[in-house]
Amino acid sequence: MLLAPRSRLNRSVLRRDRQIVQTYTSQPDATDGIDAMIASDVPTTNFATRDILDIFDTPRSGLLKFNLAIGTNPPPANAIVSLAQLYLYNAQADAASTDIVMDIYPVLRAWVESQCTWNVYTTGNNWGTAGCNNTTTDREAVSIGATTWVNGEATATEHRIALTTEKVQAWVNGSLTNNGMLLRYTSGTGGFFPASSDHATATSRPKLVISYMLPL
């Protein structure tokens, strides 16, 4: 008996089922890491080498960028991103009297780690609104991830934050320039201290994990 040929749809489904999910991981040190705290209470000071990124109600914020070409198994431009997660680690005891909510926003300005402050993104170039707060020129208005630091949580507590896949996909394929993220205080009283890439404990530094597949 002759068997009917397998349909194109069935062949497509079989090929898709065989796709391998690959994982990119980046947890850079001070040499390759790109991050800095910016603080409204010291608006002209650069904190590129500080080992923590204060997220505070003063307010203070953190700027954080991952070079997607550096790390384990970097995604090529045609990669299809299925999951993206940012890991932050509490570097010291909290200074909060209530829980602190932090949101993450894509940055639109090409800030420079060694030059950025609360007032400027590079030397001589002001943010549209101080603190990377202009939602037209400095950062996007919609959060791509959030987390809550619980009042009294222990040092080294891990925060695994799911990032909006579409934005990370856009960074990977180049349709959105990767200018990193703004870690911005949203609510609560006091603050918390995620480690930066300058932190002495390698496992406490910010980490980005992206799951992706290659097109068929």
The dihedral through the CA atoms of 40, 26, 154, 91 has a sign that is negative
Q: pLDDT value at position 153?
A: 85
Structural element, H or E, at residue 173: helix 165-173
- Tell me the whole-structure pTM to 2 decimals: 0.91
Bridge pairing between strands 207-213 and 80-89:
antiparallel
Q: pLDDT value at position 1?
A: 46
What DSSP character marks residue 11?
Answer: H
Residues of the chain with pLDDT under 50: 1-4, 6-16
Q: pLDDT value at position 13?
A: 36
Q: pLDDT value at position 209?
A: 98
Domain boundaries, the chain: 20-213
- Each residue of 78-107: pLDDT tens digit? 999 999 999 999 998 766 678 999 999 999
Q: Is the CATH number 1.10.238 carried by domain 20-213? A: no
Q: pLDDT value at position 162?
A: 98
Q: pLDDT value at position 19?
A: 77
Q: pLDDT value at position 95?
A: 63
Q: pLDDT value at position 151?
A: 84
